[in-house]
Structure 1
Amino acid sequence: MNHNISILAADDHPILLKGLRDELLNLGYNVLEGATNGAQALEIIISKKPKIAILDINMSFLTGFEVIKKCKSESLKTKFIILTYYKEKGFVLKAKNMNISGYLLKDEPISEVHTCIQEVLNGKFYASKTFDDVFNNEISPEIEKIKYLSPSERTIIRLIAGENTSKEIAEILSISIRTVDKHRSNIITKLDIASTSDSLSLWVKSNKDLLENF
């Protein structure tokens, strides 16, 4: 029965938080007092140990991701669902890497939250279709390309991400600028991007979050 399932909802928008809590109460869940910031959410999760915590990402004091990270470090058994407007690949990748239980967008019907909760309780991961689309079409293909880069090429691409010029990279690695340029050319080929002067820098800027995993 739903009334045996304790849920914490945390969001820094009071109206959205009230609406979510009311809907969960109507569905018969045991809904705890809502949290309006990350620090409050963390305190409630640690003290009350709800079965599920539904968290916004962008909250004051602690973000939803920071709350999850701290709870996982405490080995809490609470399962986490992110409820957010963010659909950019950096957020999707971070959620995937944190092994959360669900990721929903706020513009979806409340029935999706109920479906997600039920799937999570059955030990499954549940996400918005947008989440899967972003991961499968924007993240996975780029990750596969990055895997083909050599250790030296990955080092150089990380230095490019740090906004270092070819000259600076050559000095850091004690190699010639010609060698750096050769690596850049090979990287562009392996990533299958246009051979223009700024194409690699633009790719790195767009996929900076992905590079943190290599």
Structure 2
Amino acid sequence: MNKKAVSIIVADDHPIMLKGLTEELENAGYTIVATANNGAAAVEMIALHKPKIAMLDIEMPFFNGFEVIKNCSNLELDTKFIVMTYHKEKGFIVQAKKVGTHGYLLKEDNLEEIEACIEAVLFDEFYFSSSFQEDIKHTVDNELRKVALLTPSERTIIRLIAQGKNSAEICETLKVSKRTIEKHRANIIGKLELEPSQDTLTQWANDYKEIIKSL
């Protein structure tokens, strides 16, 4: 791979992280065409430079990394998006795949891992940090498949469950009967392939809050 031909934009609101990663990539031979310290600037730079790779911190001012990717989705770019974060929660990983992220790295990963990710995404492969166990990769695809089966009403209910509301509170919010809510709960549990109990649905909602926010 001709590293010099790989144009990269790096976005991170932490100056030390931004400087360190930029210098590391430049020293490795990649071409850094721009940097950004917030999500809005990242979108502007990506639209302007159309880099082959955009490396994004998830948590940034104005737009987070996922919102940057969403905002760039209608620009008809060939840019591959890699997010870098400290988050290992499954919900973040599912959300990353849902918005069209190509790579998911942890900020603790070394240059060798970063380069492996860059090479993989350039060949249209989705790349997880090797810090994740193999079963996480299967979990991500499974959860995306199952969530897609939920109806609009079921998605509304799972959002309310994620907010900590019980059945009675959901009934009051949606102005429907408890029987209706319990029927929806049962359908959701079935589609998500969970054990048939209220606690398992609540736990699932807590585990996947990030993807629920996007429903």
* TM-score past 0.5 threshold: yes
Contact 1:53–1:79 (Cα < 8 Å) also in 2: yes
Please list, as runs of the form range in 1=range in 2, the aligned pairs for 1:1-214 lying within 5 A after superposition. Answer: 1-129=2-130, 130=132, 133-137=135-139, 139=140, 154=154, 157-158=157-158, 159-161=160-162, 163=165, 165-166=167-168, 168-169=170-171, 172=174, 174-175=176-177, 177-178=178-179, 180-181=181-182, 184=185, 191-192=194-195, 195=197, 200-211=201-212
Q: Taking every aligned residue pair, what percent have the same amino acid on both sides?
A: 44
TM-aligned CA distance change 1:63 to 1:210, over 3 Å: closer
CA distance in 2, matches of 1:173, 1:110: 54
Contact 1:6–1:52 (Cα < 8 Å) also in 2: yes
TM-aligned CA distance change 1:6 to 1:136, over 3 Å: same
CA distance in 2, matches of 1:77, 1:147: 26
Contact 1:82–1:103 (Cα < 8 Å) also in 2: yes
- For this pair of structures, how many residues does the alignment match? 209
RMSD of aligned alpha carbons: 3.3
- TM-score normalised to structure 2 length: 0.78
CA distance in 1, matches of 2:15, 2:7: 20
What runs of 5+ residues in structure 1 fail to find an aligned partner?
none
Cα deviation for residue 185 of structure 1 reads: 6.0
TM-aligned CA distance change 1:170 to 1:12, over 3 Å: closer
TM-aligned CA distance change 1:186 to 1:20, over 3 Å: closer
CA distance in 2, matches of 1:36, 1:156: 34
What runs of 5+ residues in structure 2 fail to find an aligned partner?
none
The code of the aligned residue for 2:154 comes to R
SS of equivalent to 1:76: coil
